[in-house]
C-alpha cells in the first residue's frame, strides 16, 4: 500500500509539472514590504502540573511579498486639432499646400531652418556653410547623426533603417543630392520644381527636357548638386542669386530616402511604409478621416526642439463651423472662427484669441487671353473699382490690411504698403472702362468668376459684384458666379486649361515660401513660369524680373522691385490680377497652448508647448 501511494504521488507531481510547463510563463513583479499581522493563537501550556490550552491575541510584524503597483498611466501631451481636408501628400518634393508642408516640416529635416523669432536662416541638417567669392558655389557641412527611421503603426515601435549589409542608415549628403535632383524631375509634377529650377545649375534643363520619360544622363549629370563626401554637400547656381540662402529651408530641397521610394513607388508615403528623418513619425493616416504623429525617440536630443508635444491627433471635419464647435468644447487647441460667429467670439473669448499675420496676399486674377480681359484697361477698371479698405473692415471684420501691390511688408524688396499701385480709385476705374469701349458698362459681355467654396468667399465675391455695379455700372447678373474646392479651382485655372474652359476671373492667394520679392513677382508672375495661370506674354517686365533676381546689390534690387510692382499695378500697369488684402486672421486659441506661428515653411510643432494640467482641467 505504501509503495502504490508513493507512485501515485509521483505521478501526480509529474502531471502538475507538465501542466505548469505547458502554460505561458507569467512573471509578476513583487516587492517585499513589512506588514503588521494580528491573529488568535491557541497554545498548550503546563500549569500546576497539568496541560492547559490558552488562547490569546498576538500582533507581530512580518515581511511579505506583494505584487508591485502598476505605474499610473500618464496621458501623453497631445496636440488635438482638426482639418477640413485630407493631406494631399507627404512627399517633400511634391508638397505645395500648407497642410502637406506642415506635416513634411515635422517628419523630415531640411538643409537649414528658419528661426521663428528672428526669421533668420539657422542650422538644421547643415551645421555651417561657405559661399564662394563669385556667389555661385555653396558648400554645406552636414551632421552625420540624424537617423533614417521607420515606424510600425501596429506595434508602435520606431526603429532605425539599415542597409543591405545591416549597417544603420543616417542622413547624408547623398540623400540631399537625390532629393534636390528629384525636385528637377518633370515626371513628379511638382509646382515647386519651377520655383527652385531657375537658381540651380542645370535644373531647368532637366525640367524642360523634350522627352521627360527618357531624360539623357548628361542632363542629370549637369545638375549642380554634389556630395563631396557623406558630410559635405555642394550646390552650384546658374547665377549669383543673393537670396539663395533664404530658399535653403524649403521642403522641396529636403533629403529623402531613395531606397524606400524605389521599393514602394507612390505608396512610399503611407503609414507603415514611410521612412522619415524628422522630430515626429507617422503613426496613423486614415485618409479623409484622421492622422496621428508621435515623437521620434531616435532623434538626436539637441534636435528635438523646445516643445513638449509628444503626439498630434488631427481629425478631418466637414467645415470650420464644426471645428469651431470642437474648440468651444475644449476638444481642439486652435480653430478658425466662422464669420457669423466672430463678433460674439471676440466679446466672449477675447483673451483666447490671437491675430496672426501670415503674409498671405489674396487677389482676383484674370485670364489675360480671354476677352474682355485681354484689354489691360478693363483689368485696371475692375481692380480700381474694388474698395479694399471697406472690404477689410466689413467683410473681413478687420482681419487684414488693404493691399494695392503684391508683396507685403516683411518681404525683402517689397515697397512700403502705402506706396506703388493704384488701389481703390472709382473715377480712374470708370474712365478706364469707358476708354476700353464700355462706358457705364454698356455692351459689356457676361463673364465668369470662380471662387473657393465656402460662405466667406461668397461674401467676398458678392462684395466685388456690388462694387462693380456701383462704380462701373456693371450689373450683378453680368458676373456669373461659381464656387469649387481649392484643388478644382487650381485645375480649372491652370495655364494648360483652354481659354474656352477657363473662367474669366478667379479668387486666389499667395503665401511666401521664402522672404524675398523674387518669391512674389518672380515665382508667381514671371511669364516663363509653367504655372502661368494668367497666360501672360513675355515683355520688358519679365526682363526686369530676371535682372532683379540676378542683381547682387541689395539697394539696386529694392529699386528694381519697386519699378516692377509699378509696372504691374500702377496707373499704366498690366494688372494680371489685382491685390486686395493681406490676411491677418483671428484664430481661437486656448490659453494652455504656447506657440510661435511660422511665417515661412511649415508649423514647427516640435517647438510648441501645452500646459497639460490646464488642458485636462478644462476638459473635466
Structure confidence at residue 21 (pLDDT): 39
Higher pLDDT, 456 or 154: 154
**Which cell goes with 527?**
511669364
Instruction: Evaluate if residue 6 carries a pLDDT over 50.
Output: no
Give residue-wise pLDDT tens across range 216-231. 999 999 999 999 999 9
Contact 201, 224 (CB under 8 A): yes
Instruction: Evaluate if residue 323 carries a pLDDT over 90.
Output: yes
Neighbours of 537 (CB within 10 A): 11
φ, ψ (nearest 5 deg) of residue 401: -130, 140
- 114 contacts: CB under 8 Å, gap ≥ 6: 120, 121, 122, 249, 598, 599, 600, 601
Give residue-wise pLDDT tens across range 181-230. 999 999 998 889 999 999 999 999 999 999 999 999 999 999 999 999 99
* Confidence tier at 1 by pLDDT (50, 70, 90): very low
Task: Please name the residue that has the C-alpha cell 520606431.
Answer: 158
What is the pTM (predicted TM-score) of this model? 0.82
| Angstrom distance (rounded) from CA 16 to CA 550 | 87
Structure confidence at residue 263 (pLDDT): 96
Instruction: Evaluate if residue 59 carries a pLDDT over 70.
Output: no
Residue of 280, 334, 362 whose CA lies nearest to 606: 280
Q: Where in the chain is the domain with CATH 3.40.190.10?
A: 78-337+591-619
| Angstrom distance (rounded) from CA 91 to CA 96 | 10
| Angstrom distance (rounded) from CA 473 to CA 439 | 8
Domain at 78-337+591-619, CATH from 3.30.1490.190, 3.30.360.10, 3.40.50.720, 3.40.190.10: 3.40.190.10
Structure confidence at residue 51 (pLDDT): 60
Within its chain, how far is the Cα of 507 from the centroid? Answer: 22
Q: Mean pLDDT, to the nearest integer, of 357-376?
A: 96
Structure confidence at residue 16 (pLDDT): 38
**Which cell goes with 381?**
477698371
Instruction: Evaluate if residue 255 carries a pLDDT over 80.
Output: yes
Give the CATH number of domain 361-584: 3.10.105.10
Q: Where in the chain is the domain with CATH 3.10.105.10?
A: 361-584
- DSSP element (H, E) containing 259: helix 258-264
Instruction: Evaluate if residue 75 carries a pLDDT over 60.
Output: yes
* Confidence tier at 29 by pLDDT (50, 70, 90): low
Q: Mean pLDDT, to the nearest integer, of 91-118?
A: 95
Amino acid at each position: 500500500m505504501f509503495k502504490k501511494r508513493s507512485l501515485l504521488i509521483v505521478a501526480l507531481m509529474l502531471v502538475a509539472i507538465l501542466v505548469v510547463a505547458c502554460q505561458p510563463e507569467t512573471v509578476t513583479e513583487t516587492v517585499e514590504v513589512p506588514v503588521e499581522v494580528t491573529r488568535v493563537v491557541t497554545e498548550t501550556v503546563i500549569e500546576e502540573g497539568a496541560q492547559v490550552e490558552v488562547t490569546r491575541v498576538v500582533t507581530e510584524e512580518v515581511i511579505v511579498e506583494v505584487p508591485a503597483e502598476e505605474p499610473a498611466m500618464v496621458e501623453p501631451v497631445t496636440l488635438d486639432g482638426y482639418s477640413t481636408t485630407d493631406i494631399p501628400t507627404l512627399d517633400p518634393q511634391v508638397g505645395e499646400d500648407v497642410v502637406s508642408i506642415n506635416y513634411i516640416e515635422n517628419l523630415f529635416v531640411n538643409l537649414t531652418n528658419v528661426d521663428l523669432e528672428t526669421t533668420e536662416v539657422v542650422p538644421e541638417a547643415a551645421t555651417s556653410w561657405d559661399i564662394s567669392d563669385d556667389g555661385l558655389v555653396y558648400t554645406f557641412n552636414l551632421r552625420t547623426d540624424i537617423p533614417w527611421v521607420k515606424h510600425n503603426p501596429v506595434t508602435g515601435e520606431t526603429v532605425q533603417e539599415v542597409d543591405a549589409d545591416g549597417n544603420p542608415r543616417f542622413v547624408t549628403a547623398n540623400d540631399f543630392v537625390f532629393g534636390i535632383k528629384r525636385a528637377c524631375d518633370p515626371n513628379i509634377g511638382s509646382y515647386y520644381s519651377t520655383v527652385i529650377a531657375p537658381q540651380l545649375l542645370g535644373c531647368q534643363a532637366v525640367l524642360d527636357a523634350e522627352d521627360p520619360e527618357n531624360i539623357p544622363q548628361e542632363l542629370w549629370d549637369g545638375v549642380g548638386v554634389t556630395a563631396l563626401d557623406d558630410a559635405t554637400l555642394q550646390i552650384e547656381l546658374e547665377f549669383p542669386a543673393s537670396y539663395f540662402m533664404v530658399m535653403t529651408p524649403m521642403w522641396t530641397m529636403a533629403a529623402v530616402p531613395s531606397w524606400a521610394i524605389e521599393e514602394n513607388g507612390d505608396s512610399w508615403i503611407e503609414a507603415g511604409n514611410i521612412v522619415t528623418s524628422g522630430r515626429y513619425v507617422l503613426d496613423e493616416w486614415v485618409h479623409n478621416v484622421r492622422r496621428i504623429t508621435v515623437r521620434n525617440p531616435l532623434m538626436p536630443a539637441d534636435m528635438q526642439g523646445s516643445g513638449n508635444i509628444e503626439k498630434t491627433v488631427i481629425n478631418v471635419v466637414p467645415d470650420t463651423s464644426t471645428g469651431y464647435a470642437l474648440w468651444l468644447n475644449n476638444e481642439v487647441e486652435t480653430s478658425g472662427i466662422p464669420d457669423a460667429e466672430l463678433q460674439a467670439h471676440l466679446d466672449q473669448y477675447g483673451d483666447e484669441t490671437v491675430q496672426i499675420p501670415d503674409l498671405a496676399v489674396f487677389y482676383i486674377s484674370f485670364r489675360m487671353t480671354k476677352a474682355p480681359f485681354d484689354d489691360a484697361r478693363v483689368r485696371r477698371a475692375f481692380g480700381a473699382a474694388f474698395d479694399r479698405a471697406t472690404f477689410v473692415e466689413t467683410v473681413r471684420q478687420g482681419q487684414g490690411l488693404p493691399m494695392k501691390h503684391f508683396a507685403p511688408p516683411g518681404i525683402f524688396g517689397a515697397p512700403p504698403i502705402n506706396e506703388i499701385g493704384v488701389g481703390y480709385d472709382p473715377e480712374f476705374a470708370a474712365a478706364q472702362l469707358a476708354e476700353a469701349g464700355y462706358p457705364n458698362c454698356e455692351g459689356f459681355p457676361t463673364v465668369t468668376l470662380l471662387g473657393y467654396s465656402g460662405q466667406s468667399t461668397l461674401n467676398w465675391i458678392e462684395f466685388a459684384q456690388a462694387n462693380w455695379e456701383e462704380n462701373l455700372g456693371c450689373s450683378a447678373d453680368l458676373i456669373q458666379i461659381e464656387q469649387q474646392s481649392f484643388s478644382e479651382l487650381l485645375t480649372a485655372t491652370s495655364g494648360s486649361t483652354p481659354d474656352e474652359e477657363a473662367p474669366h476671373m478667379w479668387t486666389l492667394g499667395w503665401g511666401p515660401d521664402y522672404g524675398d520679392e523674387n518669391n512674389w513677382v518672380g515665382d508667381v508672375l514671371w511669364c516663363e513660369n509653367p504655372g502661368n495661370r494668367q497666360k501672360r506674354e513675355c515683355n520688358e517686365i519679365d526682363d526686369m524680373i530676371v535682372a532683379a533676381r540676378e542683381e547682387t546689390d541689395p539697394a539696386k534690387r529694392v529699386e528694381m522691385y519697386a519699378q516692377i510692382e509699378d509696372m504691374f499695378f500702377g496707373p499704366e500697369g498690366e494688372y494680371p490680377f489685382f491685390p486686395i488684402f493681406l490676411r491677418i486672421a483671428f484664430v481661437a486659441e486656448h490659453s494652455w497652448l504656447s506657440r510661435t506661428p511660422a511665417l515661412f515653411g511649415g508649423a514647427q510643432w516640435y517647438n510648441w508647448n501645452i500646459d497639460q494640467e490646464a488642458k485636462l482641467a478644462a476638459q473635466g
